[in-house]
Structure 1
Amino acid sequence: MTDPFLAEPPSSSVPDKGTGLRILVVDDDRTLREGCVSVLQMDGHAVTATGRGDEALDLVRRKRFDLILVDLYMTPISGMEVLKAAVEAHKQVIVVVMTGNPTVASSIEALRAGAWDYLPKPFSASHLQVLIGRAAHAVATTKDVREPVRPAGLVTQSGAGELMSLLGVSPTFRKAVELAQKVAATDASVMISGESGTGKEMIAQFIHKHSRRTARKLVPINCAALPDNLLESEMFGHRKGAFTGADRDKAGLLEMANGGTLFLDELTEMAMPLQAKLLRVLQDGVVRRLGSETQDAVVDVRFISATNRDPQEAVQQGILREDLFYRLRVVPIKLPPLRKRVEDIPLLAEYFLKRSWERHRSHEASAPTFTAETIAFLQSRPWPGNVRELQNVIEHVAVIAEGGRPIAPDDIPIYDEAPVGDGDAGFPAAIMNEAFHSAKDSLVTHFEKEYLARLTARAGGNMSKAARLAGIDRTTLYRLMEKHGFKRDALSGSSE
């Protein structure tokens, strides 16, 4: 341990103030144990510490902790026994095993028993803080999934002791969700395609949570976020000495996902040589670490992949191996962009507003509400960033809105869209990826929705006035509104 751990902690336990994690530290090394407590308490966490395995067993069965740091090698009760008891008592607890002798076998055994990660000794205060930061994010994500806010119309499915929530009533989205439900119970490989921000990772989580592998990990990796050599090391692991800085053997994510699911995000960004190596794992489950000349492990992993490209076009362009494509795309799921599921926008907007208001504002202040014109305006936008963009826009609104007051169309921030060419301001760039006739239909649809939203806003929701401004009769106006999912009853004002 390094010097930052040598400060004397104020006590081995502090009350939970709700500002940090509830953490249990179990280690028979007093200096290390008290050093961990000191660092964690200074970061605002509620910490309980013990040096005895029997006390730890009693604590994990009686109390609920967010995170447990436990030494793997203790006597007479080992850290492995504490790990298994903790996971059995509370499935959502995050357990990190600490060990001064990090062998491949012991690390994999701990991961298979339910450990979230392992921490080799000696480690620095900064190393511990980085790990706790990752754990805090995982705890927050788990709580969001387990205890969602459920507005009217929220479609819910329960499984594996947790509530998984998917928002949407549009036929195209429900079709994707229903297919995800059907395939979840199998071990079939799933390939999810769709534009960025459509919810591909959410569908992957949904499939895993409803699968028979839900007791094991869903291990995600973004193939576009890492250089090729680092991606290979992360996926397959490496042997000591495989490259500069490889001072110990390290199991890769494939081994960590054994018995569970590996989520390959942005699959088409993976280099071709690495695709060939992955294909070997798909064929026989054999993992060979970077720098190894022998078989290191045989794994049983379910694969879910995702891409924002058309995967078949990626094959034709030579950036995705055809044999890998067919191996991973046993069941394809395509998620529609938000502009093609406009009937879901009111539900999504209300949900994001409530969540964002509760996160950023005082609970005493009543949440603002959307006017009918604002909902119509939201439905008219092209949303190139899809659900993720809508969520960010609504969060912006929640931060600056006044409690109890209606949100008008002018309160919605509109960010400049990248023009396709001169004079193309407001032209949805995504349309240029479509075939001519499809692009033409999309552009007409975009114009009609934009026009209707601005028209009804100008008319203050009065349909008679709106029809006069547009130079069309009310029947035609109502027909256009119904075509694009606008709520006729919500937008109808006095008929002058």
Structure 2
Amino acid sequence: MLTLLVVDDERSICEMLEVALRGRGHQVEIATSEAEGRHKLEGRLFDVIICDINLRGVRGDVSGIELLASAREISPDVLFVLMTGNEQLGETIIRALNLGADRYIVKSDKLVEELEQVVRRAEDYLRVRRERDVLRREIRRLSVDNFIGQSTAMRAIFEMVAAVADTPSTILITGESGTGKELVARAIHMHSGRADESFVSINCGAFPETLLESELFGYVKGAFTGAEQNKVGLFQAANGGTLFLDEIGEMSLAMQVKLLRVLQERQVRPLGSTAEVTVDVRVIAATNKDLVALVEEKKFREDLYYRISVIPVQVPPLRERREDIPLLALHFLRQHNEQMGKTLRGIEEKALACLASYAWPGNVRELENAIERAVALETTDRITIRSLPEKVSQVVLPSASKAALLPPSGVDLERQLAELERSYLEAALQKARELKEQGERNGGIRQIAAELVGLSYRSFRHLAKKHGL
């Protein structure tokens, strides 16, 4: 059953269509002027409007068109059907279709039959559209299905996503590798008005400068050797949607200048072209680096930093939200159970304690890999400590029975802790140098050292400075 509005300045036609369409089980209201039709449209939601194109308005205009314009403002999703008694109104009909009319029919002795057919098709269309909307809502829910947490830090992230999703501002997401920065970006996109358009992502650190430029901006045939046909860049591919620039801290200074220009002017110029292409893209950038430090070191442009960090979002490492580990572990267990066709029922208590106590330098990505491995190897009905990676299963669990021995004279706890902290930092730096020299780890020595002791680069740098290292 649909809700219909019939508008015609001939009351007899309105009443004839009202009787016919009510007989098909639909709710029908009628109006005999453009003003009355607009008034009813403002007071109720209609599925379909059937309106005479020659309905005259107070200004003598073709006010069927006026009502169409009002309908598109008041109720953009309503289906609008125009009736005309004059097949010669070609230009007017074209104008109406361009303004958003869904179809038109010519008044004839078969008007009722034709309108009944139109309404049946409208029922089918609206049913499909509602099913599509349900599917889109489900996709939006699933798009953040891995974005799980009940910790204070994650609740703050959820609130931030809801608050910034519908703003046009550029967003900078920071956090260690594996924390789920792309999931945050996807969540922002899927909760925004751009959700029906493309979400396009690129890892800026995975491409050399020249290739990154052609990926982002595209090129025209003959722009360089091997450019045998035009290629649309990612800015154009994401037009109307969101472009996610992951690892933006890896971008060269020369490339940063070109990106800044696009963000300022909202136009791209494909390689080899002299024409500018206007783009409407919401840019979300992400990095695991300290961009403020890179700005100080002249490795990242300060003007670009302020352009991309209008809204900063910090994703916490997993070790700072340990209460989320059981939730994530069980989620990944269910996920990989289904993928592998297994029926594990849970995680034994000791294994869960190991998961909760491990530092997870690789964050959520490392946790998922550990659970996937455990699901694949486990032969019982639960994940046990035996199926966890060795570095996780051998973690030292906290024990209430292991109380520290206090000498009779007491201790200077602050000094003892400071010395212990300094010794760990020194050991981490030494180990990082060895790993770097042996080619076993990539990145800066302080970054490697920070990972070895389970700290963010920023926290490690602060502590190292405090101890004069």
Q: TM-score per shorter chain, which class?
A: 0.5 to 0.7
- Over residues 298-343 of structure 1, what are the superposed CA-to-partner deviations in whole Å (9 max), with x where a residue is unaligned? 1111100000012211211222211111111110000000111100
Does structure 2 retain, via aligned residues, the 8 Å contact 1:192–1:332? yes
Match of 2:182 among 192, 198, 201: 201
Does structure 1 retain, via aligned residues, the 8 Å contact 2:194–2:241? yes
- Over residues 234-272 of structure 1, what are the superposed CA-to-partner deviations in whole Å (9 max), with x where a residue is unaligned? 101112111111011221111111111110000011111
> How does 1:61-100 map onto structure 2 within 5 Å?
none
Q: Which amino acid aligns with 1:314?
A: L
1 CA distance for matches of 2:141 and 2:362?
32
DSSP 3-state at the match of 1:192:
strand
TM-score norm. by structure 2 comes to 0.55
User: Is 1:407 equivalent to 2:387 in the alignment?
Assistant: no
1 CA distance for matches of 2:302 and 2:376?
47
Q: How many residues align?
A: 282
2 CA distance for matches of 1:280 and 1:403?
58
2 CA distance for matches of 1:422 and 1:283?
44
In the alignment, structure 2 segments of 5+ residues that lack a partner are: 1-133, 396-426, 436-448
Q: 1:191 to 1:422 in 2, by over 3 A?
A: closer
Match of 2:328 among 328, 340, 348: 348
Match of 1:387 in 2: 364
2 CA distance for matches of 1:398 and 1:317?
45
Q: Which amino acid aligns with 1:273?
A: A
1 CA distance for matches of 2:431 and 2:231?
53
Q: Which amino acid aligns with 1:310?
A: D
Match of 1:211 in 2: 192
Does structure 1 retain, via aligned residues, the 8 Å contact 2:178–2:364? yes
Report how far residue 437 of structure 1 moved: 7.8
Q: Which amino acid aligns with 2:302?
A: E
Q: 1:436 to 1:162 in 2, by over 3 A?
A: closer
User: Is 1:233 equivalent to 2:257 in the alignment?
Assistant: no
- Over residues 32-73 of structure 1, what are the superposed CA-to-partner deviations in whole Å (9 max), with x where a residue is unaligned? xxxxxxxxxxxxxxxxxxxxxxxxxxxxxxxxxxxxxxxxxx
TM-score norm. by structure 1 comes to 0.53
User: Is 1:371 equivalent to 2:364 in the alignment?
Assistant: no
> How does 1:409-448 map onto structure 2 within 5 Å?
409-415=385-391, 421=430, 428-431=452-455, 433=457, 434-435=459-460
2 CA distance for matches of 1:176 and 1:360?
32
Identity among equivalent pairs (%): 44
DSSP 3-state at the match of 1:229:
helix
Does structure 1 retain, via aligned residues, the 8 Å contact 2:143–2:187? no
Match of 1:331 in 2: 311
Bigger CA radius of gyration: 2
Report how far residue 278 of structure 1 moved: 1.1
User: Is 1:268 equivalent to 2:249 in the alignment?
Assistant: yes
Does structure 1 retain, via aligned residues, the 8 Å contact 2:217–2:271? yes
In the alignment, structure 1 segments of 5+ residues that lack a partner are: 1-145, 148-156, 442-496
User: Is 1:360 equivalent to 2:340 in the alignment?
Assistant: yes
> How does 1:279-318 map onto structure 2 within 5 Å?
279-292=260-273, 294-318=274-298
Match of 2:155 in 1: 174
> How does 1:105-124 map onto structure 2 within 5 Å?
none
2 CA distance for matches of 1:220 and 1:436?
30
- Over residues 157-182 of structure 1, what are the superposed CA-to-partner deviations in whole Å (9 max), with x where a residue is unaligned? 97868663321011112212211211
Report how far residue 377 of structure 1 moved: 1.0
User: Is 1:255 equivalent to 2:240 in the alignment?
Assistant: no
2 CA distance for matches of 1:167 and 1:335?
12
Does structure 1 retain, via aligned residues, the 8 Å contact 2:269–2:276? yes
Q: Which runs of 4+ in 1 moved over 4 A?
A: 157-163, 415-420, 422-427, 435-441
2 CA distance for matches of 1:226 and 1:421?
31
